[in-house]
Structure 1
Amino acid sequence: MKYTKRKKALILLADGTIFHGKSIGKEGSAFGEVCFNTGTTGYQEIFTDPSYYGQLMVTTNAHIGNYGTLDEESESDAIKISGLICKNFSFNYSRAAADKSLETFLSDNNLMAISDVDTRALVSHIRDHGAMNAVISTEVDNIEGLKKQLSDVPSMEGLELASKVSTKEPYFYGDENATYKISALDIGMKTNILRNLAKRDAYIKVFPYNSSFEDMEAFKPDGYFLSNGPGDPEPLSEAIALTKEIIKRDLPLFGICLGHQVIALANGISTYKMHHGHRGINHPVQNLVTTKGEITSQNHGFSINREETESHPDIEITHMHLNDDTVMGIKMKSKNCFSVQYHPEASPGPNDSIYLFDQFIENLKKN
């Protein structure tokens, strides 16, 4: 147990609302869009998910850090959130398999975090007023200065962030002697996506966010994949152009999350910023093809336009969110292309939707 005195800290929202807490280790300020995740486990996977780049994460579970961290459970090479906001922070951990405490993990990644926050009140405020920019800071006596700095932080709407998290150079994942070859566009790739493809006898070459069709075609893949990722999908002009070329040639294509939105944009369907998004591991989705329900892992602040999707002559809606009727999955009627808004690879989350990777492999066989 840590008995050293911890500094006072605060959260200042763009609308001027202030919540108070205490710092965990690092002092200073961190800026980003404040959002919340309702998952009860999986904090390490959440913090290292590239889709959260540029966001201040509020964890609704009351206890964070109680089972420590394990290097192999990270979804990328480092923490991607801008800062952590929680209720009760555990400096000690009880999982025998863990290799370090969450405090050490945060310190190693130089992450700003605060605890002892009324997270129920904060989440209620976000639900009522929407996700917005915010700052977490130990500069509790510099409110006006923080407000000025916060006003300069760009809105997530219109913000291109894939370039901030994408690989700089192509790399390979899996067994080079595998049956299938897949060219994957990294616009914020989670590692567990690659694990799921590799365990289905695929060898993957992962490409940077701005790769051309010619770059990815040179690998002579059996199919193409578009990853999850952060930010607004509309500025991703290169990824959209690439996707149009893949679709035009009727090559097997699968997209997840941001990749799903890019596929929609490539088909002329617009996207929009949601009020506060979907982030958690218990989101109910219905597969409209099988009529079965799925409990899903989700992390997105943008969605595709439902009316435009329904009226598109070559698009079929395959999955819907049962809470708010947002589009969760689509497939093209005339092309070998499908996508989902949520995370079938989970990490964290349930595995109800893991079959989608099998579906993609089946599509490769048809090519």
Structure 2
Amino acid sequence: MAQVARRISGSTTLLRSYPILSVLLQRITVGSIVKLLLGLLMALNIRAFPLVWHFRAIRPVLYAGINYQILRIRHLFSDQRVKEIALENWMDSITPIGSHPFQYSISFRSFASIDESDYNLHMSNSSYAKAMDCVNLKATMSLFPQFLRVGGLIRLAETHFQFVQEIPILANYEIRLTIGAWDEKWLLVVGRFVSKKKQEKKKESSSPSNSSSASSDSHPPSPPARPPRVPTPSPTTLFNPRITRKGEYSLRTPDPEEMGRKTDLKALAAKMLSSEEPDGAVLHTVTLTRICFKLGRITVPPAIILATNGLSRPPPPTLGAMSNPSKAVYSHANPPPHWSIVKSIASKPSGGSLKAMQHFYRGGWKTVPEGERWWEQALGGPVEQQRRERLEKLSSVEHGMNAAREMRSGFGAKVTF
């Protein structure tokens, strides 16, 4: 009892020495602990709250709207002509003028939050589509601002997911969108969920010259390393027969050349299915999205949308481009040749208007003669060749889905043989 009394008196003296600690301990109750835990739980799941997803998705639209209003405020007392030129310059600045359609990419960064993860402690499969909604709208604002300003809409038809490797809970990831291909109606967009590798600490090692000299002074030279042992196939005997493809037993000795070909094929397959990106990032999921462009009920061909938003083939190599690097690529400072035609249709300072651009999207492009269709020239040459090659590869997914759509066996359907 005396020891207990001394401990209590010692703790009381300690609390008197730190009055702040004493006040905190007096205020800690069961209710306060419960409130703290509830607040922590709400903070960890804040992205699941109402309207949070909507804000994340429309954030690019909000940013563009804020910048537009700031521009209007700056030129509130300016002349009408100055306002129109300022607006066109701002629209040009957010338009991908001169970009290669297959080299332009959009990036979106996020992390696998608790509300987006499942009981396996990694990002739930359903959360990938939720994240795609955010990056799709960002890509729309980045790629097609000229189409959106005239009231154009982008309709999503389908999205396919191929899960390669899971994203752990609370891990950072990045979505990279690129244009895959297009035809007369549909634009195919390829997405990749990737994450950066953690940098491993490099161990300090001495140079080969120093290590060899030190070993020669203090220790005798080490024997040469043995070559790696190549596993030899087990002999084929009556108790260890070889099974052929037809299920029959064979006592034939395996051919080393045949085994080498199988090893090469396995290595090639492993390389093709590698989950590592060219920059060293880890690939987690691949997506393929099919979209179309609508102005009212009119479907606008993707080639026209891409060309009117500044995307173009690279400039042909010339002597002038070799002497001047700025002429070797198209950009805002060096726009592609067809951009002046786009400005003459849509830009008010250049003699165009938004109504003229709407008319062009609604079908005015059909009146342009075959040999004068500048959007085909803008996306021709190497771009057209890549488009056909990519479309041939990606169209197999569409054929597979259409085949699955026709398989109506079961649920009352009659199966025919």
**TM-score, structure 2 as length reference:** 0.21
**TM-score, structure 1 as length reference:** 0.23
Normalized per residue, the structure richer in strand is 1
Normalized per residue, the structure richer in helix is 2
Bigger Rg, which one: 2
Higher relative contact order (CA 8 A, sep 6+): 2
